[in-house]
Amino acid sequence: MLSKNDVRDSLIHEYQVIQRIVSKLPAGCEDYRISPTQRSTLELLHYLLLLGPGVMHAANDNGFAWFTENSPNCASVGLADAPVHLDGAIAEMKHLFDGWTDDEFANRAVSIPNMGDWTLGTWMLNTACKFVPAYKLQLFHHAKAAGNTGLDTWDAWFDNGETARPPA
């Protein structure tokens, strides 16, 4: 059975990978869009800053007011200051996870308007643990498409270059 800490550690790892990808974004790629209707690199990063903590706040508040309140703060974040803000998102998620007991994580009801009823743990698995990796991969594709052709699939899943890579 997955524990609260397993889910926390997995989500934190995703944000550490995002930090690594941000460090690999080519200079000048802030406005890059893979297609005209998709988010720019910077807009995608702003969304990722909100996403993990936001779904956790949604579980606590039974709604998405936190997203609305914090969107203006993220809109001013540039690539240079993104690492500090990603650290802040990680700290906020750790704080929120620490506020939940294992019993709450397994059994507490979460009711989100137009999204149904969940247990807290199921909410986290079906939102943050799916959405964050998906948008992280989009950021990875932005980095490659905007010019960092040296990135490979390994860079999308691990947060440091010291992790042993499979043989070529």
Give the domain ranges of the chain: 4-25+39-156
- Mean per-residue pLDDT for 85-103? 97
Is residue 167 predicted with pLDDT exceeding 60? no
Q: How confident is the model at residue 164 (pLDDT cuts 50, 70, 90)?
A: low
Q: How confident is the model at residue 139 (pLDDT cuts 50, 70, 90)?
A: very high
Q: Which residues pair with 119 in a beta bridge?
A: 109
Give the pLDDT of residue 88.
Answer: 97
- Mean per-residue pLDDT for 3-13? 95
The tens digit of pLDDT for each residue in 10-45 reads: 999 999 999 999 999 999 999 999 999 999 999 999
Give the pLDDT of residue 2.
Answer: 83
The C-alpha atoms of residue 85 and residue 77 are separated, in whole angstroms, by 8
Q: How confident is the model at residue 162 (pLDDT cuts 50, 70, 90)?
A: low
Q: Between helices 4-23 and 128-145, what is the axis angle to 10°?
A: 10
Give the pLDDT of residue 63.
Answer: 87
Higher pLDDT, 72 or 159: 72
The C-alpha atoms of residue 161 and residue 112 are separated, in whole angstroms, by 39
Is residue 168 predicted with pLDDT exceeding 60? no
Q: Which residues pair with 109 in a beta bridge?
A: 119
The second-level CATH assignment, the architecture, of 4-25+39-156 is Up-down Bundle (1.20)
Residue 39 per-residue DSSP state: P
Average pLDDT, the chain: 92
Q: How confident is the model at residue 4 (pLDDT cuts 50, 70, 90)?
A: very high
